[in-house]
Chain A
């Protein structure tokens, strides 16, 4: 699953999402876009900007503030042959559409015994930082991933974002894409033109022997930083970006754990009932004999997201906590952990906790 990138073009993940959507829409006249502010000056953080100019504004449908109907209308249009892409500026707004997502989008194919299909992309943006607080920063990926009939993707890197977005548009099933707002600022090498990446499973980002680390969305960046810092101390981990929560394809993770014997998961969402819980359970079931230590999980603590930068200090796992968790999991010498910790603390400097770290700007 390693990409061979021959071009040097670097764009942001946000721009890559826009390109993926635009190219898929230009390729298929049935693709339509519905959102609140679908062509406003912001155009969903720029991710829909200019698409109407290319494909025609009649395919860009402004929606009233009616999230449930927005979703239901898109499902009905999908059942009638369209391929709608709907965008929610925050996951929490999409909760108003949960009934349509769960009862109709996820089930129309099944309950019609295959007569209907719902080719629909639902984009949900996760806020973080700058005091966004309890109703603007929840991720909830496992809530959606627990529903049969839905697909759930969480691209974070720019090329993945472009290719998986195009694949989602072409998919004949409802696909929920949960996008970290902070991930929009990442940069990476991205192919030009129509570029499709199959929705087929996790991607290995680093090869290593000491432990298997599986992270979702923005946490993949923190895990990558932790892995690279430990690498400088001579400790290598096998790092995966999960990319897909449903369908959940864990064969590569199992194969890795059979070699490393150790698993750490890092969730963008709540630790309790998180993706890490499912992965740890699967690995325990399938790789029990290979495990040298109990799997460990990092994720959000068991309380809502507070707004104040004073309260949010320990809320999100970061590279430092991932290093600490790996030190415990691997029983690393104190000196190794201390060196890695100090390197991370020095690199981070006095950056406030509520803004993205420029380290994560890339290009990756």
Chain B
């Protein structure tokens, strides 16, 4: 499935506006803190989520990490269950059991978000094993960061996926940092590609700040997997604009190179795509401004619904410990 450039932009813009609204409301001065769970914002990383998910079908699975907001929305997850979850409400996508790091909705193929780095990768591979055994045409896409490729679980799962030629798309979003620690302090130069090569996995590399380039690469990788050629890796360069966890700009901490954040801001995927659409004549600035206003109003209403939704009662806390059994 390929999408035209305008829907890609609209989806990115929607995610950006949701996340900026979270940031604005999260611990805003003078306001009560109503989102009482950690938030790992995807601001700056929208193009990877949207570019890849636009190449997937509803039957394809997606799996994500602690930084799952963009993946959830890009895969088709709805706003109200997402915000409900972050606000800890009954309306949350998992009823308040998970918080922001466990966004999922099986109805749209968003199967799990797991905040332990790399822990989700074998789950995606296991789903792909089941799909292949059942002769399905679907695939399993798993998002993870550069740090996950340092974990044993990635290597174990990649080896097995390649061995059995499973339909898995491994999507590495390299945002250059694990919390505050830069890539060069954690891996020798060029290691991400070599890790994939070591497992004989084909690599699709793309500018993860360019949604069209990402989408083109994802479409090719997905086609390769659907053609039965086995798993593929996408290596996408991207950048996290805010702090690892929380709503703030953390540049003053000084762990980023001087000027680095500003340089990546100049490559902002949302801004860049907007400019491209206008330049090509695909849309006018006025139309995109109107779109943004419409989305912002929708999102704002969603936040108010989440705020108004009831908290779950403590009696539900012991539900669903075991399947098929009363609490």
Residue ranges of A at the interface with B (Cβ–Cβ < 8 Å): 32, 58-59, 61, 63-64, 66, 68-82, 99-100, 103-104, 108-119, 148-149, 151, 172-173, 247
CB<8 Å pairs between A and B, sample of 24: A32-B133, A66-B152, A68-B122, A70-B156, A74-B126, A76-B122, A76-B130, A77-B127, A79-B127, A80-B130, A99-B116, A100-B153, A104-B119, A109-B322, A111-B102, A112-B106, A113-B93, A113-B97, A113-B320, A114-B319, A115-B94, A149-B321, A173-B324, A247-B322
Tell me the complex Cα distance, A108–B111, Å.
10
Closest chain B CB from A198 CB (angstroms): 12
Closest chain A CB from B122 CB (angstroms): 2
Q: Which of A81, A103, A110, A172 contacts B130 (CB 8 A)?
A: A81
Tell me the complex Cα distance, A80–B128, Å.
9
| Structural contact, B160 and A63, CB atoms closer than 8 A | yes
Residue B131 is within 8 A (CB to CB) of chain A in the complex: yes
A residues near B122, Cβ cutoff 8 Å? 68-69, 71-73, 75-76, 100
Tell me the complex Cα distance, A70–B32, Å.
45
Tell me the complex Cα distance, A61–B131, Å.
15
Residue B129 is within 8 A (CB to CB) of chain A in the complex: yes
Q: Which of B98, B105, B125, B320 contacts A72 (CB 8 A)?
A: B125
Tell me the complex Cα distance, A119–B130, Å.
13
A residues near B129, Cβ cutoff 8 Å? 61, 73, 76-77, 82
| Structural contact, A114 and B320, CB atoms closer than 8 A | yes
> How many B residues, CB 8 Å from partner?
43
Closest chain B CB from A66 CB (angstroms): 3
B residues near A78, Cβ cutoff 8 Å? 126
A residues near B134, Cβ cutoff 8 Å? 81
Tell me the complex Cα distance, A81–B131, Å.
9
| Cβ-closest 10 pairs across A and B | A76-B126, A72-B122, A69-B156, A66-B156, A76-B123, A80-B130, A73-B126, A77-B126, A172-B323, A117-B323
Give the nearest-CB partner of B136 in chain A: A80
Tell me the complex Cα distance, A64–B160, Å.
7
| Structural contact, A113 and B94, CB atoms closer than 8 A | yes
| Structural contact, B156 and A116, CB atoms closer than 8 A | no
Tell me the complex Cα distance, A77–B324, Å.
19
Tell me the complex Cα distance, A119–B322, Å.
11
| Structural contact, B157 and A72, CB atoms closer than 8 A | yes
A residues near B94, Cβ cutoff 8 Å? 111-113, 115
Give the nearest-CB partner of B125 in chain A: A73
Tell me the complex Cα distance, A58–B323, Å.
28
A residues near B133, Cβ cutoff 8 Å? 32, 58-59, 82
Q: A-facing mask of B93-117, CB < 8 A → 1, else 0?
A: 1110110001011100001101010
Q: A-facing mask of B58-71, CB < 8 A → 1, else 0?
A: 00010000000000
| Structural contact, B321 and A148, CB atoms closer than 8 A | yes
Residue B121 is within 8 A (CB to CB) of chain A in the complex: yes
Highest count of chain B CB atoms <10 Å: which of A71, A72, A81, A110: A72
| Structural contact, A69 and B153, CB atoms closer than 8 A | yes
| Structural contact, B125 and A173, CB atoms closer than 8 A | no
Tell me the complex Cα distance, A336–B319, Å.
52
Tell me the complex Cα distance, A115–B114, Å.
15
Residue B297 is within 8 A (CB to CB) of chain A in the complex: no
| Structural contact, B106 and A64, CB atoms closer than 8 A | no
Q: Please name 19 further chain A to chain B contacts, defined as beta carbons within 8 Å, in addition to the given A76-B123, A113-B320, A115-B106, sorted by A numbering.
A: A64-B163, A66-B160, A68-B122, A72-B122, A72-B126, A75-B126, A77-B130, A79-B126, A80-B127, A80-B131, A81-B130, A103-B114, A104-B114, A109-B322, A110-B97, A111-B97, A116-B106, A173-B324, A247-B322
A residues near B321, Cβ cutoff 8 Å? 109-110, 148-149
Residue B159 is within 8 A (CB to CB) of chain A in the complex: yes
Residue B171 is within 8 A (CB to CB) of chain A in the complex: no
A residues near B79, Cβ cutoff 8 Å? none
Highest count of chain A CB atoms <10 Å: which of B93, B125, B127, B163: B127
Q: A79-B111, A115-B94 are in contact. Are A109 and B320 (CB under 8 A)?
A: yes
Q: Within residues 144 to 171 of chain B, which ones have a CB less than 8 A from any CB in chain A?
A: 152-153, 156-157, 159-160, 163-164
Q: Within residues 286 to 327 of chain B, which ones have a CB less than 8 A from any CB in chain A?
A: 319-324
Q: A64-B159, A108-B112, A113-B320 are in contact. Are A80 and B97 (CB under 8 A)?
A: no
